[in-house]
Amino acid sequence: MPAQIIDGKAIASKKRMEIANEVQKLKESGITPGLAVILVGDNHASRTYVSSKQKSCNELGMYSLLIEYPEHVTEEELLSKIDELNNDDRIHGILVQLPIPKHIDEIKVIESISPEKDVDGFHPINIGRMMTGQDAFLPCTPYGVMVLLEETGINITGKHVVVVGRSNIVGKPSGQLFLNKNATVTYCHSKTKDLVSHTKQADILVAAVGKANFIKAEHVKEGAVVIDVGINRNEAGKLCGDVAFEEVSQVAGYITPVPKGVGPMTITMLMYNTLKSAKKVLNSK
């Protein structure tokens, strides 16, 4: 029997309705959640991401500020702008769209954002809070994965989760969030020997390698939940994930498609984090 499809688009829509209602309530208390996005240079993919973030803000009734800089902006100028936004009461979330030009230190930029406004969840303080199970802004894509599973009614406790990929943005934090929910977690990566022997044991398999159709049916245990975080283009230029969807969906119990799987959840959780930041401001008054 083919796998049940986890509809990320539908779940994201449901979550966005909840967020929009909360934004409305906050506005009645005199606070409009505000997100500032900084875009450096003219990377086409980055520009697309940024415009969809702005569109989401507008749809949910949030305040959205876009700050654009040319490729040759100095590190000093960028850091100075971030400092200004850290102190701007209208802004509850600050996001610098990555990648940024090589002459600017990415780590320095991430660390200059106030942890209280770090809605991407990349600041070492938020990562540390996440690792120790404290309240934190969680990285949007891994957080979106957890919400997808929760909304689908998939229990995580005691399950064996195998994460293929170890990036700081998806792979590592995904494993940690599963661990926080009492799963047993195995990380695999490019240096892992005999990958199939590990992935075959997964009750929940998370593919985050950035290689088109990398995970095949042979990697997947019968009935497993397969979460495809990849966004790639195949030889024909068609959007596809890290999972060979057609063959894996014949083996898996549940699967996320690409597109309309994990993707819609990423921006939704960014909106959620921005709302959360604004609510903290209200509660501290």
What are the extents of the domains in the chain?
30-116, 140-263
Average pLDDT across the chain, whole number = 96
34 Cβ neighbours under 8 A, 6+ residues apart: 62, 63, 64, 65, 90, 91, 92, 93, 274, 278
CATH code linked to domain 30-116: 3.40.50.10860
Among 15, 97, 176, 276, the one annotated catalytic: 97
Is residue 97 part of the annotated active site? The answer reads: yes
What tens digit of pLDDT does each residue of 203-227 get? 999 999 999 999 999 999 999 999 9
Query: What integer pLDDT is reported at residue 176 of this predicted model?
Result: 97
Token pair for 81: 């702008």
Q: Are 173 and 144 in contact (CB under 8 A)?
A: no
Question: Can you tell me the mean pLDDT for 120-126?
Answer: 97
Query: What integer pLDDT is reported at residue 284 of this predicted model?
Result: 79
- Which superfamily, per CATH, for 140-263? NAD(P)-binding Rossmann-like Domain (3.40.50.720)
Token pair for 258: 């690409």
DSSP annotation string for 200-211: TT-SEEEE-S--
Q: What is the pTM of this model?
A: 0.95
Cα–Cα distance measured from residue 142 to residue 148, given in angstroms and rounded to the nearest whole number: 10
Query: What integer pLDDT is reported at residue 148 of this predicted model?
Result: 98
Q: Which amino acid is at 269?
A: M
% the chain with pLDDT above 70: 100
Whether 115 has a pLDDT exceeding 90, the answer reads: yes
Q: What are phi and psi of 225, to 5 degrees?
A: -90, 125
Among 15, 117, 118, 120, the one annotated catalytic: 120
How far is Cα of residue 217 from the mean position of the Cα atoms in its chain?
A: 26
Question: Can you tell me the mean pLDDT for 43-67?
Answer: 95
Among 53, 159, 221, 276, the one annotated catalytic: 53
Cα–Cα distance measured from residue 222 to residue 139, given in angstroms and rounded to the nearest whole number: 30
